[in-house]
Amino acid sequence: MTEEESKDLRKKIAELIIVRISGYHEDEQRNYPRWEVNNEELKTLIREGLGGVIILGGSTYELQSRCSELQKLSTKKLLICADVEEGVGQRFHGGTLLPPPMSIGRIYNSNPKKAKSLAEEYGHCIGNEARLNGLNLVLAPICDINNNPENPVINIRAWGSDPLTVSELTCAFHKGIKKEGVLTCAKHFPGHGDTNHDSHLMLPNLKHDLKRLNEIELIPFKSLIESGIDSIMTAHIKLENIDSKNPATLSYTILTELLRNQLNFNGLIVTDALIMEAISKIYGSGEAAVLAIKAGADLILMPEEPFQAIEAIFMAIKKGEISKERIERSILRKQSALQRLSSKELDSRNFQEIRRPGKLLAKEIIRDSLEIQNPGKIGPSSNGINLISVENAINCPFLNRPAPAIVLPKMAGYRSLLIDKNGISPWTGSKNEPLDLDLIGKAPILLQLFLRGNPFDRGMEMQENWINAVIQIQENDLLSGLVIYGSPYLWQKIINITDKNIPIAFSTAQIQEAQTQALRRLIKSEVIRGKNQEASINRFID
């Protein structure tokens, strides 16, 4: 190879790489500097032919200017992806925040028609905001079937726990999002719903064979392939009865033989982030990228070291382990996806008017999926404690100074006390008296648990703790009320242990609209009369 040819080949390889960046413009503003390429590296990568970015953080206003600046820097169109499964607001301030898909899955149980229509609107809303803000590949829908309640990583991100629900709702979502022409991605192939470990931290292992996958996990993927999904993301899970050696992301059997050949998928195969520990703990950065390409992936998402990944693939081609044609085919698939995009972009008549603002959609989904017992039964208190449990109060997306979870209980006389991983622990370590009530205060407690699935394997322990704590608070006759935001599985357990007369509520959503609806229904209306939550913040400093 001449130097010119080498350079050219490296550029082609770079076209298959997607790195993670922050939506904030300044390097110092990055919330995840370890995973987000800085601006200088980003410019170098773009100069060397980078294929795209996955972006998160900052506001939609920052996003717009960041996307247009990046596209100007690049000689060819960049893929700009985002994990906006639950609305553009999930990753960018000011965008719409929607309740998790599982909310609609729960509506499906009683009203499938309504649920499908909501899922379609949901997709349309995300597609619309993605397009208007400069994103062109939305990494959704989740096609995993959450058939394991202890799943730490999929959980309420899934549309349901059975193949039909997930298949119908993801297809409705897809129909909605495609009205806006942005590219889409079904994930995580061949199904990440039945794991009880988090692939961010380790590689889950499943016993399922092909027969089982065909009966359950593959059903939504097949429907979406038929609907013309643009890309499919791989799962970092091992299916030892299908490929005893490699995780799905790096498995020729799964990506090429199953997905490409048997299921006839001709779109883009995208790896899940190679930086996740399921992969990065076992494989080097270059090694993982090479194995993924060999297995059949087209796009390499978030390699730990992007330059190493490019170099390793280059060396594998030089050694004849990967053919140049293999790379060319992936580039062609990418270009063809971008062309579908471009024709849409040029013609705004293609776009259909969005039915209603995302906020109203969110409101309806929450209303229809909210569960409540003993509404209107929380009365005023002179010394009540509004005990709120969150993972991390620093940069918490659903808690700000005037959050309804803080302000509404305050109107009823409950002062807030926050429990999170940064503060002093309220836990004694004992199972019977898990909470140190002397620390918290022996007064009526309104408990609000923001516990969404079991993120990063820590959730199950927290669920256990809180179940025991609820029993303890109840035995001390101090439980005024309880709201769970997030896990339906925790909700099921809590229903079984709380007295029948305790006011309790559940929403899959954690956003402020869910807080408002749950608390306004639980607290006596005389106490929080009128619409003016603002007035409850009486003093300048509160």
In angstroms, what is the minimal distance from the CB of 537 to its own copies?
5
Output the six-digit token pair for 442: 């022996």
Binding its own copies (rule: CB under 8 A), the pick from 9, 10, 62, 283 is 62
Instruction: Tell me how far apart the alpha carbons of residues 399 and 406 are, in angstroms, rounded to a whole number.
Output: 8
Q: Are 64 and 133 in contact (CB under 8 A)?
A: yes
Binding its own copies (rule: CB under 8 A), the pick from 400, 432, 496, 501 is 400
In angstroms, what is the minimal distance from the CB of 202 to its own copies?
11
In angstroms, what is the minimal distance from the CB of 57 to its own copies?
10
Binding its own copies (rule: CB under 8 A), the pick from 48, 150, 162, 277 is 277
In angstroms, what is the minimal distance from the CB of 307 to its own copies?
16
The catalytic position among 230, 243, 272, 298 is: 272
The span of 260-268, 269-277, 444-452, 464-472 binding its own copies (CB under 8 A) equals 269-277
In angstroms, what is the minimal distance from the CB of 20 to its own copies?
12
By the rule CB under 8 A, 495 interacts with its own copies: no
> Cβ closer to its own copies: 310 or 406?
406
The catalytic position among 93, 197, 200, 368 is: 200
> Cβ closer to its own copies: 372 or 537?
537
The span of 366-374, 394-402, 470-478, 487-495 binding its own copies (CB under 8 A) equals 394-402
Instruction: Tell me how far apart the alpha carbons of residues 419 and 225 are, in angstroms, rounded to a whole number.
Output: 44
Instruction: Tell me how far apart the alpha carbons of residues 512 and 252 are, in angstroms, rounded to a whole number.
Output: 45
First to last CA, the chain: 69
Place of tokens 């040819």: 5
Binding its own copies (rule: CB under 8 A), the pick from 94, 284, 375, 413 is 94
Output the six-digit token pair for 166: 């997930």
Whole-angstrom CA distances from 275 to 48, 286, 309, 475 are 21, 11, 12, 46
> Cβ closer to its own copies: 115 or 478?
478
By the rule CB under 8 A, 456 interacts with its own copies: yes
H or E element: which one contains 301?
Answer: strand 300-301
> Cβ closer to its own copies: 30 or 334?
30
> Cβ closer to its own copies: 325 or 534?
534
Residues 403-442 that bind its own copies (CB under 8 A): 416-420, 422-424, 426, 439-440
> Cβ closer to its own copies: 253 or 389?
389
CB atoms closer than 10 angstroms to residue 518: 28
341-351 CB burial, b ≥16 within 10 A, e <16: beebbeeeeeb
In angstroms, what is the minimal distance from the CB of 2 to its own copies?
37
> Is 236 among the catalytic positions?
no
In angstroms, what is the minimal distance from the CB of 61 to its own copies?
4
265: region left, alpha or beta (phi > 0 left; psi from -120 to 50 alpha): beta
Instruction: Tell me how far apart the alpha carbons of residues 161 and 107 are, in angstroms, rounded to a whole number.
Output: 13
Please name which of 446, 519, 445, 452 lies closest in space to residue 485, comparing C-alpha atoms: 452
Residue type, 245: K
In angstroms, what is the minimal distance from the CB of 439 to its own copies?
5
Whole-angstrom CA distances from 293 to 22, 446, 533 are 26, 53, 55
* 89 contacts: CB under 8 Å, gap ≥ 6: 95, 96, 97, 98, 358
CB atoms closer than 10 angstroms to residue 426: 18
Q: What is the C-alpha radius of gyration for the chain, rounded to an integer number of angstroms?
A: 24
Instruction: Tell me how far apart the alpha carbons of residues 428 and 465 are, in angstroms, rounded to a whole number.
Output: 10
The span of 62-70, 128-136, 164-172, 498-506 binding its own copies (CB under 8 A) equals 62-70
> Is 200 among the catalytic positions?
yes
Task: Report which DSSP code applies to 247.
Answer: -
The span of 110-118, 363-371, 391-399, 474-482 binding its own copies (CB under 8 A) equals 391-399
In angstroms, what is the minimal distance from the CB of 166 to its own copies?
26
The span of 27-35, 124-132, 219-227, 502-510 binding its own copies (CB under 8 A) equals 27-35
Output the six-digit token pair for 180: 């806006």
Binding its own copies (rule: CB under 8 A), the pick from 113, 349, 401, 531 is 401
Instruction: Tell me how far apart the alpha carbons of residues 365 and 106 are, in angstroms, rounded to a whole number.
Output: 10
Place of tokens 């080949």: 9
In angstroms, what is the minimal distance from the CB of 501 to its own copies?
29
Q: Are 22 and 70 in contact (CB under 8 A)?
A: no
Q: Which residues pair with 238 in a beta bridge?
A: 205
Binding its own copies (rule: CB under 8 A), the pick from 1, 7, 8, 61 is 61
By the rule CB under 8 A, 531 interacts with its own copies: no
By the rule CB under 8 A, 93 interacts with its own copies: yes
Number of residues in contact with its own copies under rule CB under 8 A: 55
By the rule CB under 8 A, 200 interacts with its own copies: yes
Tell me the DSSP string of 480-499. EEEEEEE-HHHHHHHHHHS-
Binding its own copies (rule: CB under 8 A), the pick from 138, 171, 275, 523 is 275
Residues that bind its own copies (CB under 8 A): 24-26, 28-35, 58-59, 61-62, 64-65, 93-94, 200-201, 275-277, 359, 392-396, 399-402, 416-420, 422-424, 426, 439-440, 455-456, 512, 533-535, 537, 539-541
Catalytic annotation, residues: 200, 272
